[in-house]
Amino acid sequence: MIHTSDVCPHPDFERLRRYLSEFVERRIAPVHTAVAFNAVYFGFDTEAGGYAGGPLDIGEFPYVALGDQVEALPVGAMINIRTGGDLLPAEVVYKEGAHPAVGSTGDTPGWLSGAPLGAQGPGEQVSLETPNLRERLVFDAQAFGQGLAATSERLSRLSRRGTTDAYGHLIVEARYAVAEGDLDDTAYYARYLMTRGWDQLASSLVPMPLPLMLPPTSAPKETEAALFRLMCVVRQALASSPELRMWGDYAFTRTSMAARLADPGPLGRDALASLAQSVGRSAAPIGHRRAAARNKVVYTALGPALRALPRSSASLRGTAYPLAVSHANVLMADYVRGEADEQTGLLPNGVHLAQDDPWQSGGVWRAEYRADESPAATCPEVPQTPSGRGWAESRSPAAPSPQLESSEPDTAVAAVSAPTAGDGELWPGDHGLGDPVRGPVRRDRALWTQPMRSRDLSGGYLPLPQDVLAGLALVGAPSEARGAHVQLSLTHDGQDLPPFQATQDALLDEEGRLTGLEWPADFFPGILLTLTWPRAGRVIQARTVLLPLPQTVDGEPVAHRYDRRVRTRDGGSPARQYAANRTIPGAAPNAESLVMTAVRRLGLLDVYGRALLARDRLHAAIHLVMTDVPLHPAAPQVAAALVRLLASGHLTLARGSRSGNGRTHYPQRPREAAIELVCYTPLVVEARPRGSDHPDLNVPPSRVVNGHHVPGFLRYIGHLGYEASEEQRRLFRQDFLTFGLAGTPELPQGYTYVRPHRRGT
């Protein structure tokens, strides 16, 4: 599944989903994507209830106690609670900010909501080499089976001795590297495993070490990308399970939610409903004073608000706390959906209520009452989407007028300006995808490379650089060249072109383009042409170049060098690839197709073809790019389509920032408001080398993706009464060194080793 763009039809995906549903049901705390990855990768036994007998060396886990200053630990990290006696291994299952400025009842200063790393006060941010954050870590001491599990009496003793706080949690000062402080929990866990946790990740004793899934020459960035892809597969399984419900990256059972709603206790339905109403009323004027009321904004953190409820302490100890926080956030969102006006997003009392920070103290909710005008709901159909307005407004009190970001000045879709160098672009120095990329300068000839745009392929055009136009003895503006004849000599690497395509006579139009060309049928948007013009002649030579290995991109075969940015902008068939149901020819595209098109057309681009678009501007982006569609989907339809695309893994989420003038930036910049970005990443997989019995371009994409490689693995043969041969032991020791695995180079008793090999035809 690590190499497959659409894992839903994979025969093992349903098994994975069933296993994770059992795993979430087995755990008390909500299961984060990182913790679910641990269960699959390290082998959590849902019957025995732990990693008992697994490949983890508990003696190597970092030791932590209350008040420690530690290198920041992610959700999913394995730790030892420092007891002064026997080992007490545990798994970090939840963490949140624990800033001392948050009040005991949840009252939060506005600047803290959405504040980035290094924030010291309203609009004040300092740059430190290793900034600290005060964090609450919730651990599960039952994760390693009954033999190592801590009893409730032992956990109570730890609390009395000051090893944990009164709720059985760890409050620590976490040190971050500047580049890692604003990563989300899943991305930070992937970084953690690639660095401090590498020995666990690469252990030869895990069921399938990640290095064995990849070629031995894989670079660290490729390995980290593959690791993150595996976590996306796990999250997709969690999000698509009908028995589970998600809040952010945390999954919990619908059964636990139903039990919460049926509970008459201090954290049951009535208590949480009263809390939601109280937070919604916090900014509203009282009775007859409404006409004379002033603008008011109140920020409330749910974690302290829950701890302040009467008789709630006993129900918030240990891993019960993150479950209560997740349930409370879901109920808050349901309350807003049920009570807020669909058009304005306002509650009946005129307050706009939305989550503003998902991490600080269990989630900070923002209640705003504006007396002068109705507040525009940032995203009323998805009220839990954090916007980080508290920090943004502490830096810039005047709310910026919304703009839609774009990486391409395409007048065919809208008058949207492209980012300039240093202002939001993801590839410095690139000024428009249609401009040729200049090659080395020579006196006798001009060399350059340029990608083919969709409009050029369909129109039979080839845009030329200004210096080439001038050198063709067409001095002045391109309009003076109109009607001039130029010959194009085309070579398509790996194919013999017919004479009418290999040599073509073209005319220059007033826009400086060769016109009247007929491109080969397998040319695609983004394919790179290497062009040469001998300065003394009127012939331009163009050729394509084969990739070292064929690829599949989002399941489509690609054989020649190409520009990933142009393919993202112009290529693909969203209506075919991302539709839940097949699109009827001639009918308007469905919501999934429109969402994918908007992200790919107007998102910020990087050199790898990734496109990122602000989530709160997705609906507006659809209206801009789909001018030829008579009926646009409503905001709830767009939100539902986005949820489905996120669950399927076609889109992911990332955190960026927005400047005071409305520009979107990624990665998140200091002193800018944090925002959530919707991210499209092309899935690129290398296929078999050329020269096999079945050329890659003739093999169906599914065969190319799934049938070309089987990684090495351990096979249990002890039940047959066999042991591995000396040759297999030698081969395992050899691959152990080749792939850089951690642990022991000796095969476990009862196992043999199957080397990496190819399977299928």
pLDDT in tens, 189-227: 999 999 999 989 988 888 888 988 888 888 888 888 889
Burial class (CB in 10 A: 0-12, 13-18, 19+), 160: exposed
Which residue is listed with tokens 């809040």? 247
Between 83 and 583, the higher pLDDT residue? 83
pLDDT over threshold 80, residue 381: no
Average pLDDT estimate for 665-669: 81
Name the pLDDT band for 5 (thresholds 50, 70, 90). Answer: low
pLDDT over threshold 80, residue 567: yes
pLDDT, residue 442, reads 44
pLDDT over threshold 60, residue 692: no
pLDDT, residue 477, reads 39
What's the topology of domain 437-550? Answer: At1g16640 B3 domain (2.40.330)
pLDDT, residue 407, reads 36
Average pLDDT estimate for 489-515: 89
Within 10 angstroms of residue 338's Cβ, the number of other Cβ atoms is 7
Instruction: For CATH 1.10.10, list the domain ranges present in the chain.
Output: 576-707
Between 505 and 419, the higher pLDDT residue? 505
Residue 174: which H helix or E strand, with range?
Answer: strand 170-175
pLDDT over threshold 90, residue 21: yes
Within 10 angstroms of residue 226's Cβ, the number of other Cβ atoms is 17
pLDDT, residue 365, reads 95
pLDDT in tens, 119-128: 888 888 777 7
pLDDT in tens, 331-366: 999 898 888 887 778 888 889 999 999 999 999 999
Average pLDDT estimate for 618-643: 79
Between 338 and 667, the higher pLDDT residue? 338
Name the pLDDT band for 110 (thresholds 50, 70, 90). Answer: very high
CATH number of 576-707: 1.10.10
pLDDT, residue 96, reads 96
Instruction: For CATH 2.40.330, list the domain ranges present in the chain.
Output: 437-550
DSSP-derived secondary structure for 312-364: -GGGGSTTHHHHHHHHHHHHHHHHHHHHS-TTT-B-TTSEEEEEEESSBTT-E
The pLDDT > 90 percentage for the chain reads 33
Instruction: Provide CB contacts within 8 A for 35, sequence distance 6+.
Output: 27, 75, 76, 91, 93
pLDDT, residue 259, reads 93
Name the pLDDT band for 702 (thresholds 50, 70, 90). Answer: very low
Convert 75-90 to b/e letters by CB count within 10 Å (16 or more is b). Answer: bbbbbbbbbeeeebbb
pLDDT in tens, 63-107: 999 999 999 999 999 999 988 777 789 999 999 999 999 999 999
Average pLDDT estimate for 168-184: 82
Burial class (CB in 10 A: 0-12, 13-18, 19+), 373: exposed
d(CA 13, CA 207): 17
Q: Whole-number mean pLDDT of the chain?
A: 79
pLDDT over threshold 50, residue 705: no
d(CA 597, CA 600): 5
pLDDT over threshold 80, residue 134: yes
Average pLDDT estimate for 4-8: 65
Name the pLDDT band for 570 (thresholds 50, 70, 90). Answer: confident
Residue-level length of the chain? 761
pLDDT over threshold 90, residue 491: yes
DSSP-derived secondary structure for 399-446: PPPP----SS--TTT---PPPPTTTT-SSTT---TTSPEEEEE-SSEE
Instruction: Provide CB contacts within 8 A for 145, sequence distance 6+.
Output: 45, 48, 49, 50, 51, 52, 53
DSSP-derived secondary structure for 723-756: ---HHHHHHHHHHHHHTT-BS-SSPPTTEEEE--
Task: Name the most confidently modeled range: 605-609, 610-614, 744-748.
Answer: 610-614
d(CA 44, CA 37): 10
As given in the structure block, the two tokens for residue 604 are: 């910020």
User: Residue type for 464, please?
Assistant: L
Residue 685: which H helix or E strand, with range?
Answer: strand 684-686
Average pLDDT estimate for 635-662: 86
Between 430 and 132, the higher pLDDT residue? 132
pLDDT over threshold 50, residue 409: no
pLDDT, residue 224, reads 87
pLDDT over threshold 50, residue 437: no
pLDDT, residue 214, reads 85
The span from the first CA to the last CA of the chain, in angstroms, equals 19
d(CA 368, CA 110): 11
d(CA 134, CA 173): 5
Average pLDDT estimate for 681-703: 54
pLDDT, residue 340, reads 84
pLDDT in tens, 266-283: 999 999 999 999 999 888
Between 93 and 58, the higher pLDDT residue? 93
Contact predicate 349/293, CB 8 Å: no
Quote the DSSP letter at residue 45. Answer: B
Average pLDDT estimate for 160-184: 85
pLDDT, residue 438, reads 40
Burial class (CB in 10 A: 0-12, 13-18, 19+), 407: buried
* Lowest model confidence (mean pLDDT) among 36-45, 378-387, 503-512: 378-387
